[in-house]
């Protein structure tokens, strides 16, 4: 990092408040206080310290709770860097005291920026793109968890009221044809009532090749059970809602995957990663 700074500002970032320590080139403390995580207070501090010369703002994490300080510092025209966690822990061991406090951590960050500039990493445009990817991938993880939860709920209900039907539909629960059948017909009672012709017409829209075979498997499974298990009537009303919910979650995952793919296309390593066996868009984004 360039050494022509008048202030080395270390920020130990937090969810509601940060702790800020500003050091002059000779190590004199210019600022040492808690800092609310608001744009107004951040700008006030940056403007105040800028009177001493160029300000280098250093955070311990540039994304998540550190994203706002980074964005405000840049908007104010200041250079931004971050101190990686491993480097920070090693440097902290060289400072007196063992208590881990926000004030101590902020001082360690500022002092590292002043005396050990080689330990810092720039926060550049590539990091911004990675931050965008991190948000999208995090949302996709949430959607994946929700898809698993709803899928398990559907399969659990089917296992409870009609095990044979679950054995047919369960392994294909994410297929659009299966979700459409459950959405429009419900459970075993609704499927039987719909009849073969209607089931085929519904399934064929989303599964032109396997539609008829799927319906035959469903009808065969329905014939394996003649008794009605308690809870079936309630399940008939719940299954269509669960199917709609799962379909919506899967549609959102497809949309997120498209957004991730567009971002990856701009990354120079994307073609290399996606060309590897077993590496798809979602895995490449995580890498």
Tens-of-pLDDT digits for all 287 residues of the chain? Answer: 545 899 999 999 998 899 999 999 999 999 999 999 999 999 999 999 999 999 999 998 887 888 899 999 999 999 999 888 777 778 877 766 656 688 989 999 999 999 999 989 887 655 566 677 778 888 999 999 999 999 999 999 999 999 999 999 999 999 999 999 999 999 999 999 999 999 999 999 999 999 999 999 999 999 999 999 999 999 999 999 999 999 999 999 999 988 887 776 655 455 545 555 655 555 555 54
Strand ranges across the sheet with 121-122: 29-36, 17-23, 7-12, 55-59, 79-82, 121-122
Consecutive H or E run containing 280? none
Task: Look up the CATH number of domain 128-286.
Answer: 1.10.287
The pLDDT of residue 134 = 79
State whether residue 201 is helix, strand or coil: helix
Q: What does the alpha-carbon distance between residue 126 and residue 136 come to, in Å, rounded to a whole number?
A: 15
In the chain, domain spans:
7-123, 128-286
The pLDDT of residue 230 = 96
Q: What does the alpha-carbon distance between residue 46 and residue 230 come to, in Å, rounded to a whole number?
A: 67
Q: What does the alpha-carbon distance between residue 156 and residue 172 come to, in Å, rounded to a whole number?
A: 14
Under 8 Å between Cβ of 14 and 37: yes
Q: What does the alpha-carbon distance between residue 143 and residue 250 come to, in Å, rounded to a whole number?
A: 8
Q: What does the alpha-carbon distance between residue 243 and residue 176 come to, in Å, rounded to a whole number?
A: 10
HEC readout, 110-163? HHHHHHCHHHCEECCHHHHHHHHHHHHHHHHHHHHHHHHHHHHHHHHHHHHHCH
Tokens of 172: 């294909």
Among the four given CATH numbers 3.40.190.10, 3.30.70.1520, 1.10.3720.10, 3.30.420.10, the one describing domain 7-123:
3.30.420.10
CA distances from 233 to 225, 236, 238, 253 (A): 16, 5, 9, 31
The pLDDT of residue 272 = 46
The pLDDT of residue 78 = 93
Beta bridge partners of 32: 21
Total Cβ atoms within 10 A of residue 162 = 25
């Amino acid at each position: 990092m360039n050494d022509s700074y008048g202030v080395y500002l270390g920020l130990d970032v937090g969810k509601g408040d940060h702790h800020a320590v500003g050091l002059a080139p000779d190590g004199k403390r210019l600022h040492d206080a808690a800092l609310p995580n608001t744009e107004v207070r951040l700008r006030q501090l940056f403007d105040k310290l800028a009177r001493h010369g160029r300000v280098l703002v250093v955070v311990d994490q540039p994304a998540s709770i550190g994203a706002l300080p980074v964005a405000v510092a840049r908007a104010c025209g200041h250079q931004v860097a971050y101190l990686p966690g491993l480097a920070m822990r090693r440097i902290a061991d060289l400072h007196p005291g063992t208590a881990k406090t926000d004030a101590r951590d902020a001082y360690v960050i500022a002092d590292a920026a002043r005396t050990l500039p080689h330990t810092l990493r720039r926060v550049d445009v590539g990091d911004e793109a990675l931050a965008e990817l991190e948000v999208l991938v995090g949302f996709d993880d949430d959607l994946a968890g929700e898809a698993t939860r709803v899928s398990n709920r559907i399969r659990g209900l089917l296992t409870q009221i009609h095990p044979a039907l679950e054995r047919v539909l369960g392994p294909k629960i994410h297929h659009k044809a299966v979700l459409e059948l459950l959405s429009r017909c419900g459970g075993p009672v609704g499927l039987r009532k719909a009849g073969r012709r209607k089931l085929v017409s519904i399934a064929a829209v989303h599964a032109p090749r396997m539609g008829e075979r799927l319906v035959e498997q469903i009808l065969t499974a329905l014939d394996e059970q003649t008794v009605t298990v308690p809870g079936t009537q309630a399940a008939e009303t719940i299954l269509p809602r669960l199917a709609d919910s799962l379909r919506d979650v899967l549609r959102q995952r497809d949309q997120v995957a498209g957004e991730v793919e567009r971002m990856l296309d701009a990354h120079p390593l994307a073609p290399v990663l996606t060309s590897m066996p077993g590496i798809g868009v979602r895995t490449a984004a995580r890498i």
